[in-house]
Amino acid sequence: MASLSPSIGGFLSPFEGGGVMVRWHEWGPADGRPVVCVHGLTRNGRDFDVLAAALAAQGRRVICLDVPGRGISAWLPLGSQYIVPVYVGLIAPLLAQLGEYDWVGTSMGGLIGMGLSGIPNGALGAGPRRMVLNDIGPFVPVASLERIRDYLSQPQAEYGSVEQVDAYLRRVHAPFGPLTDAEWRHLATHSAHRTPTGGWRLHYDPRIVEPMGAGPLADVDLWALWPWVAARPTLVVRGESSDLLLAPDAQKMAGSANVTLATIPGCGHAPALMEANQVQLILDFLR
């Protein structure tokens, strides 16, 4: 596991009612070339600790965001506001200050990165130089969205111990791949917070599912945006059994001149980016 400890950064992003606190864990020297890492739907920035420590060792400044509604960032006033365009707007002030940066996005984090690619140059600083899309693409099948909605719609449980959180994550996130006991415990420790009664709850706002329940779900089709995404060097990482990024779509993405596809064996949605070969893949790409 990572041997260093991150610092915490944050700012009050303008929003309805005065603003929303956006926070992150930061690794590496403040003057290093920035890398922004953004997690999946129910996850948080501590998922990237192993990758972030490795990037920091190369002199990179690594900002592992907690998207509002997760981790140490604030929750949004309404559940209906948990959508990608809102996330883009909330993190825009930070990105505008970074100049040129690289982007690593897992699942939802990749969708946010693709959303940034459609914004005119200069509006958010120099924009992403290179982009890593971890098990996400411009097409998301409705069947996978229904699966996610169904498990998120279940009442959020209170666990009696971090060991129980660990067991839950191993079951729900088994497609992350064959992680070690230490890696699962790391995820469990940072995936839950203590409750006033002394228990543990998962570290996200249960209302994040509300936009998925607003009407019938349908395929997400962002292929019209793909030329702007693929205009920069892009690494697509796909779990070989992923139901979110299907193999034909990954191959179609790889047909763009700037796009490299890497398929990770033994994983589904989404590779955890903790195993040494996965980390090295990204280190090499972001040089």
Residues whose CB is less than 8 angstroms from the CB of residue 260 and which lie 6 or more positions away in sequence, other chains included: 233, 234, 235, 236, 254, 285
Task: Give the predicted TM-score (pTM) of the model.
Answer: 0.96
- Among 56, 113, 117, 107, which Cα is nearest to 283's? 56
Per-residue pLDDT of 169-215, as tens digits, reads 999 999 999 999 999 999 999 999 999 999 999 999 999 999 998 88
Domain 7-140+222-285: which CATH number of 3.90.1150.10, 3.40.50.1820, 3.20.20.140, 2.40.40.20: 3.40.50.1820
Per-residue pLDDT of 71-112, as tens digits, reads 999 999 999 999 999 999 999 999 999 989 999 999 999 999
Structure-token pair, residue 269:
């949605």
Res 120: pLDDT: 64
Structure-token pair, residue 83:
């959508």
Per-residue pLDDT of 125-153, as tens digits, reads 667 899 999 999 999 999 999 999 998 99
Structure-token pair, residue 161:
């111990």
Domain ranges of the chain: 7-140+222-285
Asked if 58 contacts 67 with a C-beta cutoff of 8 angstroms, the reply is no
Region class of 122: left (phi > 0), else alpha (psi between -120 and 50), else beta: left
Outline where 192-275 has alpha helix (H): 226-229, 247-254
Asked if 145 contacts 217 with a C-beta cutoff of 8 angstroms, the reply is yes
Asked if 103 contacts 116 with a C-beta cutoff of 8 angstroms, the reply is yes
- E strand or H helix at 12, and its extent? strand 7-13
Structure-token pair, residue 44:
């948080």
3-class secondary-structure state, position 169: helix
